[in-house]
């Protein structure tokens, strides 16, 4: 069969948007049978400062994954309950404590996270990229990060990536994102030159470049990383059902949002998608 590499899964056509709740009103640490008895699947998704889900954007991996999670709940005959979480650092504890059942948030699979939760099959492969102001031409390689101020959330994989680089480039200054700064605030700070850059997954960078012309990717900071969904430890049947659903989606849904670009735009995105025979 033909496989299109570095492409997000197709947008989901389910019309159900899921019920949005501030926080789950009960604790449940059981497996699929227990969730079925309750009739609900609680899905931790990225949220905004107002407590709602992140605003939907065309081509957003976050929006797509939220829609896909709702479709997964529907496939199980469960009501989808979206639990918006503003800070990534709160998501894993919610899952561990039984206040969410899965995490659908473009989550990077890391060794540290695998010690705490289970993961689904991969839904994407990305690289962590350094985002800089569009008129910046100072950073092309790791050594150029000397003396630069790069912002990240300490609960993300980006923070650890920057810490690893700092061990080799000691003068790199890692700036922690302030508690009430959202993504757009950070991007605005980069564009204005208040900080030298920030780090995002390449699929998120591609989305940003679709509506912002004041930023560009300077370089990739990592090789390929796996993006997957989080599942609570001790829920093997839920994880099995999720993996079957995601595998079926990836095998049967044709891409609905085909992206085409000339060489200049491919260079800007720093992502080349390749059609391979498998």
Length of the chain, please?
A: 278
The pLDDT of residue 86 is 86
- Over residues 176-193, mean pLDDT: 95
User: Regarding predicted confidence, which is higher, 23 or 138?
Assistant: 138
Find where tokens 């000397």 sit: 146
Q: Give residue 35's Cα distance to chain centre.
A: 25
Tens digits of per-residue pLDDT, 19-37? 766 566 789 999 999 999 9
The pairing of beta strand 124-126 with beta strand 225-231: antiparallel
pLDDT at 180: 87
| pLDDT on residue 197 | 99
Q: How far apart are CA 3 and CA 9, in angstroms?
A: 12
pLDDT beyond 90 at 270:
no
Tell me: pLDDT of 260 over 50. no
Instruction: Answer yes or no: is pLDDT of 259 > 50.
Output: no
What pLDDT does residue 11 have? 33
The CA distances from residue 210 to 205, 214, 216, 269, in Å, are: 9, 11, 11, 10
Q: What is the mean pLDDT of residues 90-119?
A: 96
Interval 247-258 mean pLDDT: 67
- The residue ranking higher by pLDDT, 256 or 12, is 256
Distance CA 106, CA 57 (A): 15
Burial annotation 188-226 (CB, 10 A radius, 16+ → b, else e): ebbbeeebbbbbbbbbbbbbbbeeeeebbbbbbbbeebe
pLDDT of residue 7: 28
pLDDT bracket for residue 106 (50, 70, 90):
very high
* Alpha carbon 191 to its chain's center: 22
C-alpha to C-alpha distance for 138 and 274, rounded to whole angstroms? 30
Tell whether the model's pLDDT for residue 4 goes beyond 60.
Answer: no
Report how far apart the first and last C-alpha atoms of the chain are (Å, whole number): 6
Q: What is the mean pLDDT of residues 67-74?
A: 97
Domains along the chain with CATH numbers: 2-125+227-277 (3.40.190.10), 128-220 (3.40.190.10)
Q: How much of the chain, in percent, has pLDDT values that exceed 90?
A: 73
In the predicted structure, residue 275 carries a pLDDT above the cut 50? no
The per-residue pLDDT of the chain, averaged, comes to: 85
Query: Given a cut of 80, is residue 17 above it in pLDDT?
Result: no
Condensed to tens digits (0 to 9), the pLDDT of residues 40-60 reads 999 999 987 565 566 667 778
Q: For residues 23 and 8, which has the higher predicted lDDT (pLDDT)?
A: 23
Name the more confident of 125 and 258.
125
What Å distances lie between residue 74 and 2, 127, 146, CA to CA?
Answer: 29, 31, 50
Nearest to 6 by CA among 152, 201, 174, 177: 201
């Amino acid at each position: 069969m033909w496989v299109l590499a570095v492409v997000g899964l197709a947008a989901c056509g389910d019309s159900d948007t899921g019920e949005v709740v501030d926080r789950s009103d009960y604790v449940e640490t059981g497996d699929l049978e227990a969730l079925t008895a309750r009739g609900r699947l609680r899905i931790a998704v990225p949220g905004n400062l107002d407590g709602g889900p992140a605003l939907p954007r065309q081509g957003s991996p976050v929006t797509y994954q939220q829609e896909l999670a709702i479709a997964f709940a529907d496939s199980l005959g469960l009501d989808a309950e979206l639990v918006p979480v503003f800070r990534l650092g709160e998501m894993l504890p919610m899952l561990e404590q039984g206040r969410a059942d899965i995490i659908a948030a473009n989550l990077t699979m890391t060794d540290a996270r695998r010690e705490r939760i289970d993961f689904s099959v991969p839904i994407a492969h990305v690289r962590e990229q350094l985002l800089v102001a569009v008129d910046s031409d100072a950073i092309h390689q790791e050594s150029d990060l000397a003396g630069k101020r790069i912002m990240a959330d300490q609960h993300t994989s980006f923070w650890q990536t920057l810490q690893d680089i700092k061990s080799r480039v000691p003068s790199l200054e890692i700036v922690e994102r302030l508690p009430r700064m959202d993504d757009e605030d950070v991007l605005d700070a980069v564009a204005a030159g208040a900080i030298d850059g920030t780090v995002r997954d390449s699929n998120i960078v591609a989305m940003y470049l679709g509506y912002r012309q004041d930023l560009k990717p300077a370089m990739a900071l990592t090789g390929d990383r796996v993006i997957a969904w989080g599942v609570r430890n001790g829920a093997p049947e839920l994880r099995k059902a999720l993996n079957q659903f995601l595998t079926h989606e990836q095998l049967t849904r044709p891409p609905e949002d085909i992206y085409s670009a000339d060489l200049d735009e491919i260079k800007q995105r720093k992502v080349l998608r390749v059609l391979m025979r498998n």
